[in-house]
A and B are shown apart, each in its own frame.
Chain A
Amino acid sequence: MRDCRLVSRKFDIKNSFKIDIAKEHGAYKTLDKAYALKPLEIVEIIKESNLRGKGGGGASAGDKWALMPQESDKPSFLAVNCDESEPGTFKDRQIISKDPHLLIEGILITCHAIKAKHAYIYIRGEYKQYQDILQTAIDEAYSDGLLRECDITIHRGAGAYICGEKSALLESMEGKRGHPRLKPKQKEPEWFFDNPTLVNNVETIASVPFIVQNGAQAYRDFGTEQSPGTLLFAMSGHVQNPGVYEAEFGTSMMEYINHFGDGVKNGKKLKAVIPGGVSCGVLTADECENLTLDYEALRSIGSSLGTGGMILMDEDTDMVEALKNILEFYHEESCGQCTPCREGTGWSDKIVAKILAKKGTKEDIDKLFDLADVMNGKTICVFAPSVSVVIVSFITKFRDEFEAIL
């Protein structure tokens, strides 16, 4: 496997979160080049690189940047999404704690490209210790005179999963309840207090310096045609060596698991993998066999790449328990705005609890499919559809385990 550490290059350097050490290793070197370019030229480079949003959706970052007005009476803003609440995902915290200056550099370039004078980093409340590291780095950057053109403010969330959804994030930043907004009918930027705003994930922004420094083609040299570049894939669960390891898109999943993770924990057999945070459909070990890690491959088998945070489950895993665990999370975290999600997450959680208590019937399983159907595509955001995918994938692929305890 070739070394493709574009974002995680400084992760192994001791004290790389300090500005002096980061600078020694090339931090902020791209700024001169970026400031010499016109904003639209940077947007063009990002478009050409086909950088895809690394927060889970995988939409084209360049297209999103291009929606930001270059001429406007209103101020533009950048909101960096560091809510990272998807279970199984812990890559952004590596960036902000190991190489925060890479993120700041990315923010400065992005703000230059979209003509924003103020960037907010929306960080999940639980990340207090990482927030402190990031804040220190921002303070260092201020002292160093790097933030003359642009301010960076950290906004701490209060711990709601849904605030990772971009419009809920902005609602939360505006001081309101983190409820996703109705989607606009045409393509337009997001709005923060009615001002055009770009929302991007931490890793997306942290990928920007490499692309601007080395050009779009250098980025496209990694990964596949449609999923170019790299991602901070991660492993947790029943894996020998869990953690975050950067790899290029298109890497074989099993090779990745064996190479970085040293295989399944305690030499057991792999039973299933949730590929990119719990909101992606579960995969059986067979499905993982010849799978590559890119958006297209995962989509083609009815799951999704998500954030690339893989959760491994060994042969001893009780899949009903596993589904219950995930549904409990959704039950707790549904924002409660749309009826199908608010009531559907609770109801499905209770049904699985009933099945686990060995009181379930065949009708309960049918009802779970029914509920998955009501939750799919009938809500404001993609929370409920994700729950729907999870339920359907668990029950279809491991139906015997559910039926065994009816």
Chain B
Amino acid sequence: MSEMIEIIVDGESYTAEEGSRLIDLLIQEKIKVPYFCYHESLGADGNCRMCMVGIKGQKRPQIACDTFITKDMFVDTKNDTIQKVQTDILELELINHPVDCPVCDQAGECSLQDFYMDYGLHNSKITISEKVKHNKALDLGSNVMLDQERCVLCARCTRFTDKITHTHELGIIGRGDDAKVSTMPGRKLDNAYAMNVVDLCPVGALTSKDFRFSQRVWFLKTAESICHGCSKGCNIYIDHNKLKYKDDVIYRFRPRRNDDVNGFFMCDDGRLSYKELQVNRQENILYKNEELTEDEAIKEFKNKIDKYANNTTIIVDANLYTEEIEAILEFAIEIDAQLISPLKIYEDEDFKDDMLKSSQRAANYQTIKRLNIANSTSTKSDLIINFNHPSEINANEKISFLTHKSDSLELIFPIAAFSESSGTLVSEDGITGKCQKAIDKNNPAPTIIEWLKKVRA
């Protein structure tokens, strides 16, 4: 680690590591500087030329992404020259941009729009109307659509496939204002992390086929959560919205930066796993395929518990929140039931890779292990109470608390999915993360904790 030194930015003093990138300090200290091509995960490429700052002793403005902090550095991000440069370069970005914001999915979360509001509001001097025409809707593969006209050629996407996934599907072809992003000849964008380029793209050039045209982003509400696709624990945002007269719906998962877990990214499987939360959901209380009222069901539940006292096994899903698992453990002790959580069923070696995908596809199995819950796959008990575990262990009688529909004809209680409640998860690397409640359904299913309260009342 290099020495920490003091530098002056816009007259204010800051402490930074000697030799670190100036732009990192500006981003960290929330000092406004526009940039397209720089990204903490991809390093500096220096092509957009937007992050120009004045450095005392330097004749010309310098790009902050390729400036390394040295002793006695005086930085100016706001003087007239810098502002003119930023405005001028932004105008150049716009000359061939289609400015089709009204039909662009990125509108509302677009760097070009934001920078225009910050640096570009002026009378344009563009007196030529003809723009360079490119392809507006190219299907790159892996749910990624490319609009070459909106592209600012920051090369974040191509650098992602070069430096992060090492799959090299994307490149820039053509020169000058004819340059455009494209897949390599004969190839498609095809890797397990492809959709991250949509997040990386600062403008509306790369959009998700899954999300595009479904919502205006400014209507979306966002909750912080953790992906349940495997035990890696990638931090995510859940973007959702409840339209009038409709139910609260998830429109997308986006990776949320956490340098200890997933950095900036998540896999496409995890990203698209939101869909499973909205289909085939268990909504009603069922007993032998007949609907029951809550009171009837609780009565039935209690009868069975009494009937099979000392003869009950509880199976718990390793994807549940820590709070839920602990509550179930407490309940198991209370009714003197055996508690198991077979983990084998979550193992999926084919899913594993050396980036973010883990073969153990249970988001909270570390908590199961910490609480010493048995990893047994069989039971001699005559009653099984299953808390959303996917395994098919049979017994004389069965009570299930399920998020999704099943073929079972036994007593079934619908429960809230992870997006519909809040809680804690521990990743495979032992990192604890919190999930916020995102979804507020019109007819919410109770959480496991709420059900346990009801059946004990």
Measured CB to CB, the residues of A under 8 A from B are: 160, 162, 177, 182, 185, 331-347, 350-351, 354, 361, 363-364, 367, 370, 373-374, 377-380
CB of A339 within 8 A of CB of B152, answer: yes
B132 in contact with A378 (CB, 8 Å): no
Closest CB pairs A-B (n = 5): A336-B179, A346-B177, A334-B176, A343-B92, A374-B88
Instruction: List, in ascending order, chain A residues with CB within 8 A of B49's CB.
Output: 338-340, 378-379
A380 to B46, CA, bound (A): 7
Q: Which of A182, A345, A364, A374 contacts B176 (CB 8 A)?
A: A345
Most buried by B among A335, A336, A340, A379: A336
CA distance A162 to B175 in the complex (A): 10
Chain A residues whose CB sits within 8 angstroms of the CB of B175 once the complex forms: 160, 162, 332-336
Whether A331 lies near B177 (C-beta < 8 A) is yes
In-complex Cβ contact of B48 among A339, A354, A363, A377 (8 A):
A339
B376 touches A (CB below 8 Å): no
Q: How far is the CB of B442 from chain A (nearest CB, A)?
A: 48
| Per-position 1/0 for B150-165, Cβ under 8 A of A | 0011000000000000
- B171 near A177: Cβ-Cβ < 8 Å: yes
Q: Which residues of chain A have C-beta atoms less than 8 A from B56's C-beta?
A: none
Given contacts A339-B92, A379-B49, contact A345 B177 (CB under 8 A): yes
- List of B residues within 8 angstroms of A367 by Cβ: 125, 127
- Residue of A whose beta carbon sits closest to that of B92: A343
Chain B residues 173 to 192 lying within 8 A of chain A, measured CB to CB, are 174-179
Cβ of A194 to closest chain B Cβ, rounded Å: 15
Residues of B within 8 A of A (CB): 44-50, 52, 59-61, 66, 68, 85, 88-89, 92-93, 95-96, 125-128, 130, 132, 152-153, 171-172, 174-179
Q: Which of B59, B95, B153 contacts A336 (CB 8 A)?
A: B153
Find out whether the CB atom of A350 lies under 8 angstroms from the CB atom of B46.
Answer: no
Residues in B with CB closer than 8 Å to A332 are 175-176
Report how far A342 CA is from B46 CA in the complex, Å: 13
Q: A182-B66, A336-B177 are in contact. Are A177 and B93 (CB under 8 A)?
A: no
Q: Evaluate contact between B176 and A346: CB separation under 8 angstroms.
A: yes
Task: Contact check, B127 vs A361: say whether CB atoms are below 8 A apart.
Answer: yes
Residues on the A chain within 8 Å of B68, using CB: 185
On chain A, the residues within 8 Å of B179 by CB distance are 335-336, 342
Task: List chain A residues, Cβ under 8 A from B153.
Answer: 336-337, 339, 342
10 extra interchain contacts, Cβ-Cβ under 8 A, other than A331-B177, A336-B172?
A160-B175, A182-B46, A331-B176, A334-B176, A336-B176, A336-B178, A339-B48, A343-B95, A343-B96, A379-B49
Is the beta-carbon distance between A350 and B128 smaller than 8 angstroms?
Answer: yes
For the complex, give the distance between the alpha carbons of A258 and B174 in Å: 42
- How far is B52's CA from A379's CA once the two chains are assembled, in angstroms? 11
Expressed in whole angstroms, the Cα–Cα distance for A338 and B47 within the complex equals: 4
Q: How far is the CB of A257 from chain B (nearest CB, A)?
A: 33
Tell me the bound Cα distance from A336 to B59 in angstroms.
Answer: 25
Q: List 6 A-B contacts (CB under 8 A).
A: A162-B175, A185-B68, A331-B177, A342-B176, A346-B96, A378-B60
A160: which B residues are within 8 A, CB to CB? 175
Q: Which residues of A contact B93 (CB under 8 A)?
A: 339, 343
List, in ascending order, chain B residues with CB within 8 A of A347's CB. 92, 95, 126, 128
Q: What is the distance, in angstroms, from A54's C-beta to the closest C-beta of chain B?
A: 26
Contacts of B128 in A (CB 8 A): 347, 350-351, 354
Given contacts A182-B46, A342-B153, contact A335 B176 (CB under 8 A): yes
Q: Give chain A nearest CB distance to B43 CB in angstroms.
A: 10
